[in-house]
Amino acid sequence: MTNHWIDIKNADVILIMGSNAAEHHPISFKWVLKAKDAGATVIHIDPKFSRTSARSDMHVPLRSGTDIPLLGGMVRYILEKEKFNREYVAEYTNASFIVGEGYDFKNGLFSGFDPSAKKYDQKKWVFTVDENGVPKRDKTLNHPRCVFQLMKKHYQRYTPKKVSAVTGVSGENLLKVYEIYAATGAPGKAGTMMYALGWTQHTVGVQNIRLGAIVQLLLGNMGVAGGGINALRGEPNVQGSTDHCILWNTLPGYLPLPTSDQTTLEKYLRANTPQTHDPKSVNWWSNKPKYVVSLLKGWMGEAATSENGFGYGWLPKADPGVDYSVIFLLDRMYKGQIKGGFILGHNPAQSMPNSNKVRKALDKLDWLAVAEIHNSETTDFWRRPGVDPKKIQTEVFLLPSCQRGEKDGSITNSGRWLMWHAKGIEPMGRSRSMGSMVVDIFKRVRALYAKESGAFPDPILKMVWPEVYDADGVAKRINGAYTRDMTVKGKQYKKGEQVESFLFLRDDGSTSSLNWLYAGSYGSAGNLARRRDLAQTSMQARIGLFPNFSWAWPVNRRILYNRASVDPNGKPFNAAKPVIAWENDKWVGDVPDGPAPPMASPRGKYPFIMQMQGMGQLYGPGRVDGPFPEHYEPAETPVRSHPFSAQLSNPCMKGAQSDMDVLAKPGDPRFPFVLTTYGVAEQWCGGVDTRNTALLLETEPQLYVEMSPELARLRGIGNGEPVVVESARGRVEAIAMVTVRLTPFTVLGKTVHLVGMPFCFGWTTPGAGDATNRLSASVCDPNVSIPEYKACLVDVRKAQKVTELHV
């Protein structure tokens, strides 16, 4: 979230799209309802009427995979009716930037497309720059090649008629949504967007979010109280694990993973450190060398010296252009290219798409170690239904893991608050924390290397490694410390003393930090994640900001890009709900995005400090599938064409290729219905924890498929009857939940039925049903490789015989 949970209460309009917030983030509704009490309007746009819709002012059913048409139509409306915040757009976004002559858009494709590689030459999309390399601007926004005009032209095509035809949303509903939401462009008004996997899990996932952010920038909703673009991140510590690089392509703190052609630290830093000659742009990532070197010092300690590039050569490196994300990893496993490995707290045999293939992939391993709290479809894949355990050669090790209440540690909540939790009880049986498993396993591996040596022993032998796992000790190292006695700005620091924030990190090896974003969480004042102090100033009280409760990254800033909440003179756009204000030559309120004075002053800075040019990116030349979001159908779609172009699906879409990765044709008569998948409030993610919690299983005991009464009639299915759902990849049994909460869509003049299923059930819970993901496809977004769980094609029919469910 750019903002945080409490801040939702400051919104005038709340747009929940691509999320079932009430069910998956119940606590968010504490704040949504508070906003409603204060007069806010809540709109829920989602294929299904859910518990979220029940508490919203308006539910708008939308065909899964058509968020871009709906939002594109909103951009068109905002521009046409001049609802945008002109000062904000001209001063704080790249609307005024002049785009080079290389950029073009025709027939659904941007310029520079190479069909054989399914890739764009992104150099075609660059800005026109002056002699200093700074983009040329026209703040009147009239230049025909400025971003604003190109954007206007692009979304001119998203007429209400076309949007309505492709999304299945009535023209009346569209207009209502546009009117209500665009009204937050007025000064002093704020609209927030709450989204989750309903936006991300598409082959256009990144562009869905980009378009949401574009709307927010146009309306001046970024950086303000009650605004922002808010990814609702869940209890499994999604935020914290992403910050600490759960994804293959980053190092902690969103530093890019080195590639094998970046052979030295200098080459790596040169390739990844953006430079600007615009003195008003903070260009925060220009600090990257300090964070990288401090990370290497944190990992390698004394062994990291300036002579050896601080041990950069010891880091694992990715081959350029190779995708190591989990879909492709599992694909390589299926093809026998992986011998063994560890799976920690993850249940791919149930939660990854096309799980029939995933299960076969696991069969190919020689060995597998799984750390889990309960037995899961992954720990027990070798004895799954229909398989003879004797024929599976994989040796499987189960490492019993303890639960959160049995260990110290932290989670980072969706609002980027680092929250410490203390152990309540001792771990059950021989279970232990995953941290202690990793510490001990690595120690044994290291002892073997010390004794027997082996290939490339240096990183293993030289890494700083604790004797025993200690969560507090790790938190300290994450914050970072001085590696030698130092004098900074006249102040003395001793070797081993904690650094106070990332402003003190250096690229000369004198500081260490395992994650620059968290530097400041554990300085001289101790572990700030433990704080539960409600003290605040009266200004902070107005927007529900509690700076002394826990600690938020970065530097305890609670609302990101808060310099965009004030005008160029530092005066809040919304005087009633100020985030920061420039008073008596200093900032008050939240921790500002940098100490520089307001933008209008000679030393002032632009607000979007993480962007090289300091501006909110309406035009995003950094995305591999285009600088403006454009509508493409899901990889499996019920339509054979759409009204925006002849390019049916995302031209850059990725996917696994194997005999088991079959896709239904567009409009395939064998699979006429759209399937969307989701969680359910009472089961947690893949359900391994909650299916093993009897009281929760009591509330949601079995796999179901929600369908409209119209579809049920069409297929002769009664409520509560077992049915078979089938895709080009698999077959799943489920109980029919026939409900008026689903409604058939009229898409391009034809009726399209959509069904929905939770993904949380698996065969290790007897009679509960087995993985819904046997239906979904291993196709993904080209920017971040997130799978398209939210839309595929299926057929549904009455079950003749039931084997997966107790009925």
Partner 1 sequence: MAKALFIDTSRCIACRGCQTACKEWHGLPAVPTRQRGTHQNPPDLNPFNYKLVRFTEAKTAGKVEWLFFPDQCHHCLEPSCKGTAESFAPEAIVVDKKTGAVVYTEKTANLTAAQCKEIQQSCPYDIPRRNDKTGILTKCDMCIDRIRADLAPICVKTCGTGAMNFGERDAMLAMAHHRLGAVKVSHPKAQLVDPEDVRVIYLVTNPEPALKKQGKQAVESYSRRELLGGLVSPFRRMAG
Contact residues for partner 1, defined by CB under 8 A: 22-23, 26-27, 29-30, 33, 37, 49, 51-55, 57, 59, 681-682, 694-704, 709, 719-721, 735-741, 806-807
Cβ 681 to partner 1 shortest distance, Å: 5
Cβ 237 to partner 1 shortest distance, Å: 19
Nearest Cα residue to 755 out of 797, 805, 787, 801: 797
Nearer to partner 1, 525 or 807 (CB): 807
Bridging pattern class, strands 551-552 and 417-421: antiparallel
Cβ 531 to partner 1 shortest distance, Å: 22
Cβ 277 to partner 1 shortest distance, Å: 50
Buried b / exposed e across 147-172, counting CB within 10 Å, b at 16+? bbbbbbebbebbebebbbbbbbbeee
Alpha helices in 157-287 (DSSP H): 160-167, 171-182, 197-200, 205-218, 238-243, 265-272
Sign of the alpha-carbon torsion through 224, 230, 234, 238: negative
DSSP secondary structure of 580-600:
EEEETTEEEESPPSSSPPPTT
Q: What is the 3-state secondary structure (H, E, C) of 89-102?
A: HHHHEHHHEEECCC
Find how far residue 326's CA is from the centre of its chain. Answer: 15
Nearer to partner 1, 171 or 341 (CB): 171
Nearer to partner 1, 53 or 676 (CB): 53
Nearer to partner 1, 53 or 149 (CB): 53
Q: Residue 144 carries which side chain, given as an amino acid letter?
A: P
Cβ 54 to partner 1 shortest distance, Å: 4
Buried b / exposed e across 425-435, counting CB within 10 Å, b at 16+? eebeeebbbbb
Cβ 37 to partner 1 shortest distance, Å: 7
The residues that bridge with 22 in the sheet, in sequence order, are none
Cβ 697 to partner 1 shortest distance, Å: 7
CA distance 244 to 416: 12
As a residue count, the chain comes to: 807
The residues that bridge with 318 in the sheet, in sequence order, are 259
CA distance 577 to 556: 19
Cβ 49 to partner 1 shortest distance, Å: 5
Cβ 550 to partner 1 shortest distance, Å: 18
Nearer to partner 1, 507 or 700 (CB): 700
CA distance 122 to 139: 25
Nearer to partner 1, 236 or 301 (CB): 236
Nearer to partner 1, 429 or 766 (CB): 766
Q: In the structure encoding, which two tokens stand for residue 661, read together?
A: 């990765």
CA distance 760 to 769: 9
Q: Residue 628 carries which side chain, given as an amino acid letter?
A: F
Nearer to partner 1, 635 or 805 (CB): 805
Find how far residue 727's CA is from the centre of its chain. Answer: 27
Nearer to partner 1, 173 or 512 (CB): 173
Instruction: Kindly report the number of other CB atoms within 10 A of residue 571's CB atom.
Output: 13
Cβ 546 to partner 1 shortest distance, Å: 17
Nearer to partner 1, 646 or 740 (CB): 740
The residues that bridge with 486 in the sheet, in sequence order, are 493
Residues 6+ apart with CB under 8 A from 86: none
Nearer to partner 1, 57 or 363 (CB): 57
Residues 6+ apart with CB under 8 A from 588: 537, 539, 580, 581
Nearer to partner 1, 480 or 687 (CB): 687
CA distance 70 to 43: 14
Cβ 360 to partner 1 shortest distance, Å: 29
Cβ 51 to partner 1 shortest distance, Å: 5
Work out the widest C-alpha separation in the chain, in whole angstroms: 81
CA distance 498 to 122: 42
